[in-house]
């Protein structure tokens, strides 16, 4: 009986370790309900991005109506100056999968009129998926994962206890 309980405890530790490292890529709607529009204040998108942690494999979804673009660049100078140097401007809708190995820092802004200067821009750092800080799952998937994990561990424990009784 004691060895059965020890086995159960070891199993629980292994399952919890595996669950801690398991995270799914997140898809973020840029600007949440506002979407990709001229923001109500110049810090809107910067604040939006600062409340999130972006990981390799996450996706950014840009959606808008009207006249906007998304410019993705690699230099802070172009971003800070809202540069209109020739580059590829992306149209709506657009989903970008973040790839840290290609670009650990992303800069995004709109090139239409003065939209960038009015705050339609943000930058993000992309972390490795297996960083020290684990990517948080979405609240609904976290609950589902937790309940599923609990049921799996509980049923395995009951089976092991019954085998060793």
Whole-angstrom distance, CA of residue 66 vs CA of residue 122: 20
Q: At 60, phi and psi to the nearest 5? A: -110, 125
Instruction: Read off φ and ψ for residue 153, nearest 5 degrees.
Output: -65, -45
Lookup: tokens for 20 = 């801690």
Half-sphere exposure for 4 (CA within 13 Å, toward CB) = 11
What is residue 123's predicted lDDT score, i.e. its pLDDT?
Answer: 95
Chain CA centroid to CA 135, Å:
7
Q: What is the mean pLDDT of each run of 10 residues along the chain (165 residues)?
A: 51 44 76 96 96 93 90 88 75 86 89 94 89 48 48 51 50
Q: What is the pTM of this model?
A: 0.64
Instruction: Write the Ramachandran bin of 60: left for phi over 0, alpha for psi from -120 to 50, otherwise beta.
Output: beta
């Amino acid at each position: 009986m004691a060895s059965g309980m020890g086995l159960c405890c070891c199993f629980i530790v292994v399952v919890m370790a595996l669950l801690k490292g398991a995270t799914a890529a997140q898809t973020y709607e840029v600007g949440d309900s506002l979407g990709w529009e001229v923001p109500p204040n110049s810090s809107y998108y910067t604040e939006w991005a600062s409340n999130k942690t972006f990981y390799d494999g996450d996706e950014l979804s840009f959606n808008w109506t009207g006249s906007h673009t998304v410019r993705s660049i690699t230099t802070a100078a172009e971003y800070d100056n809202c540069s209109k140097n020739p580059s590829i401007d992306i149209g709506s809708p657009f989903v970008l999968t973040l790839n840290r190995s290609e670009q650990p820092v992303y800069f995004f802004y709109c090139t239409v009129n003065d939209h960038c200067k009015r705050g339609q821009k943000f930058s993000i750092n992309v972390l490795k998926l297996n960083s020290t800080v684990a990517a948080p799952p979405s609240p609904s998937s976290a609950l589902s994962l937790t309940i599923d994990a609990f049921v799996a561990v509980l049923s395995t424990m009951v089976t092991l206890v019954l085998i060793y009784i």
